Amino acid sequence: MKVPARGTLQTCHQCGHRDPAARDRIRYACANPACGWVGHADTNAAINIKNAVGMPVSGRGDLGVTRSAKRQPPRAA
């Protein structure tokens, strides 16, 4: 299932407050004084995507549960 990435880095996963200035490079700090969640910006975005989809999210797509597609089978001797 595809989820639009727009706003996932700017929206707090805890309270839903959206503020473009809340993200500082890799750090996200919620500007809502009632919330104040602080953490990694990518973690916040991943939780927002997970909440939108309602399922666990893997950055590797379907490869998170199977073998890597780049891996070559062993050679026969």
Q: Which helix (H) or strand (E) holds 51?
A: helix 41-53
Average pLDDT for residues 10-22, to the nearest whole number?
88
Rounded distance, CA 28 to CA 38, Å?
6
Whole-model pTM: value is 0.62
Q: What is the pLDDT of residue 74?
A: 73
Q: What is the pLDDT of residues 50-66, one digit of tens each?
A: 888 776 555 555 544 55
More confident residue, 38 or 63: 38
Q: Point out the least confidently predicted range of 19-23, 28-32, 59-63, 69-73.
A: 59-63
